[in-house]
């Protein structure tokens, strides 16, 4: 089976623009690549069509919202006149399973109104997938603020494929990473393409779009398609005070746009909603979903950023856990600087692996000596800072987009042949193929429409992450990043620019800490030796912290369960999920 993409979170940390991890690799949260002269980025993770290593099934921003009432009772609107589709209260009549907090009984005991999934499609990318026979969708009503359950409500979109066998175990929830990638999409793919017949027979496969993302409402809205194109086409000189001031102004405006544009249709204050999109609140949403689905205990698979959700759930609700697989671990005990520099080393290592593979091929523009490949790559890409390469259709490939395209290809070895060809084209003055990789990472389709993923990624990251607010410290980190990942070093002075989170309208809600989940049953952590986005050691450390089984995958790849065709890891994971079988340790796949 070919590898399917899951959006990863890379972050070229010190700048205003976010890059989304992308479509032909594997799920994950990777932190940034802090490159001098690069606009700040951090990228998400998501999953794509398991039958294609180059197709992404991420939603595009809808031109109009579908009917998302989900059959819920809508209260009379008392919100601003701009509101067109106020979200109501939950439908009563359900019976929450397991522990139900009394103050939240209205939400835990709600009844879901399941229907076909066609109206939940967010664009052409997932319209056919959501029309797959047997899929059903609904909206879970949740409190905007868990401290005020009688106040405004929000909707989480949920997709389910019912168990096909007679011995149903329960529901199995998935999160593909990002943050902000579509859980509905990955569950639909697993159901449509029959990734694991045994899992499909034993579990209802369930995906959910976390608050503010995908088909959920309100949808986080920060940038229009035209604005995204303009940002990508703009390059800043880090040696120019005027350029740095212009970048700061653009970044501040983007943060303001996110608060002003989000929640308008639903009559919800944008800033108030953005304060609740972080992982701390999503974990609470997950427990409501578990109970409403009728499961006393949670069974869950999280990739990359999804491992953070799984870890936080284990800490908050250890007694509510049945089984967790955490693949591509995010190390929440690290400072953001430690995480970024760890990723920098990971991506440099992946680039060097690519260069060594390229050197064995006849047409490798990097040459036959991998030791000098980084220098050759710099010579090839740095001229784009002044002279972007033409792209078919009238666009141009900037330096930032070139680096983005390369980073996209580092998530999976299946993308290396395409990258090798794209770099050869670039050496001949054509940036079209490399721009296609960058577009896939950014979630831009052939019609110029962008997935909503990056706006969601931005908002969630800014509520979850430690913030950099000192330009001098930002420049120092940029310097360290360049040293750790020289392939992404533009040669310009280290950038002092702050990323969008420095100007975010609400404070972060998550603090770095070493996970502790007393009373947690045995869970499984999967970590890949050459994972560029979530380095191997993070998985080793998480397994130790949670007293979990550790499964090691050998290779250069971001995550691997059910995506590589690796019988060893897939068998171990499926046996664990269905039968709670603890694999013999250590297990190397």
- Point out the residues that are catalytic: 304, 531, 558
- Output the six-digit token pair for 43: 């990228």
Residue by residue, DSSP assigns 444-472 as B-TTSPBBTHHHHHHHHHHHHS-----HH
CA distance 346 to 304: 14
CA distance 187 to 306: 14
The answer to whether residues 418 and 409 touch, using CB atoms and an 8 Å cutoff, is yes
Q: Which residues, 6 or more positions from 230, have their beta carbon under 8 angstroms from its beta carbon? A: none
- Output the six-digit token pair for 184: 């509905």
CA distance 553 to 558: 10
Reduced to 3 DSSP states, what percent helix, strand and coil does the chain have, rounded to the nearest 5? 40, 15, 50
| Helical ranges in 79-217 per DSSP H | 105-108, 124-130, 183-193, 197-202
- Output the six-digit token pair for 32: 């940034």
Burial pattern 239-275, b for ≥16 Cβ within 10 A else e, equals eeeebbeebbebbeebbebbbebbbbbbbbbbebbbb
CA distance 290 to 96: 9
């Amino acid at each position: 089976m070919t590898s399917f993409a899951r959006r990863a979170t890379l972050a070229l940390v010190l700048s205003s623009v976010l890059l989304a991890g992308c479509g032909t690799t594997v799920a994950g949260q990777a932190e940034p690549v802090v490159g001098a002269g690069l606009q700040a980025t951090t990228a998400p993770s998501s999953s794509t069509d398991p039958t294609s290593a180059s197709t992404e099934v991420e939603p595009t921003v809808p031109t109009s919202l579908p009917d998302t009432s989900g059959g819920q009772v809508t209260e009379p609107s008392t919100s601003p006149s701009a509101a067109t589709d106020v979200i109501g209260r939950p439908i009563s009549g359900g019976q929450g399973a397991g522990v139900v907090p009394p103050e939240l009984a209205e939400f835990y005991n709600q009844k879901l109104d399941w229907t076909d999934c066609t109206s939940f499609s967010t664009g052409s990318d997932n319209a056919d997938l959501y029309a797959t026979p047997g899929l059903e969708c609904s909206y879970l009503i949740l409190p905007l603020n868990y401290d005020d359950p009688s106040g405004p409500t929000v909707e989480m979109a949920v997709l389910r494929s019912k168990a096909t066998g007679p011995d149903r175990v329960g529901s199995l929830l998935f999160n593909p990473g990002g943050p902000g990638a579509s859980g509905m999409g990955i569950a639909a793919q697993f159901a449509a393409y029959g990734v694991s017949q045994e899992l499909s027979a034993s579990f209802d496969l369930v995906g959910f779009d976390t608050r503010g993302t995908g088909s959920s409402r309100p949808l986080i809205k920060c940038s229009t398609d035209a604005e995204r194109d303009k940002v990508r086409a703009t390059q800043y000189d880090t040696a120019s005070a005027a350029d740095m001031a212009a970048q700061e102004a653009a970044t501040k405006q983007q943060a303001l746009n996110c608060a002003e544009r989000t929640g308008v249709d639903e009559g919800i204050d944008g800033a108030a909603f953005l304060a609740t999109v972080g992982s701390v609140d999503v974990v609470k949403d997950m427990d409501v979903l578990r109970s409403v689905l009728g499961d006393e205990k949670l069974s869950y698979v999280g990739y990359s950023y999804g491992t953070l959700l799984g870890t936080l759930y284990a800490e908050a609700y250890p007694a509510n856990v049945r089984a967790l697989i955490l693949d591509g671990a995010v190390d929440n005990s690290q400072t953001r600087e430690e995480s970024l520099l760890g990723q920098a080393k990971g991506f440099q290592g992946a680039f060097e692996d690519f260069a060594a593979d390229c050197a064995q091929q006849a047409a490798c523009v990097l040459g036959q000596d991998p030791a000098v490949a980084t220098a050759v790559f710099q010579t090839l890409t740095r001229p784009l800072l002044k002279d972007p390469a033409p792209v078919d259709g009238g666009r141009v490939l900037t330096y930032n987009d070139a680096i983005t395209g390369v980073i996209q290809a580092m998530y999976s070895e299946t993308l290396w042949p395409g990258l090798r060809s794209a770099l050869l084209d670039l050496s001949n003055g054509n940036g079209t193929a490399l721009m296609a990789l960058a577009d896939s990472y950014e979630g831009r389709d052939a019609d110029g429409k962008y997935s909503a993923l990056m706006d969601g990624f931005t908002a969630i990251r800014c509520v979850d992450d430690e913030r950099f607010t000192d330009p001098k410290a930002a420049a120092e980190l940029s310097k360290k990043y360049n040293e750790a990942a020289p392939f992404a070093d533009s040669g310009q002075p280290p950038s002092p620019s702050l990323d969008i989170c420095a100007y975010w309208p609400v404070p972060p809600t998550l603090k770095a800490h070493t996970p502790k989940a007393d009373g947690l049953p045995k869970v499984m952590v999967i970590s890949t030796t050459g994972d560029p986005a979530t380095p191997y050691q993070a998985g080793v450390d998480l397994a130790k912290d949670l007293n979990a089984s550790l499964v090691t995958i050998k290779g250069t790849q971001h995550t691997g369960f059910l995506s590589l065709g690796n019988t060893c890891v897939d068998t171990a994971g499926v046996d664990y999920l269905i039968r709670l079988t603890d694999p013999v340790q250590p297990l190397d796949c």
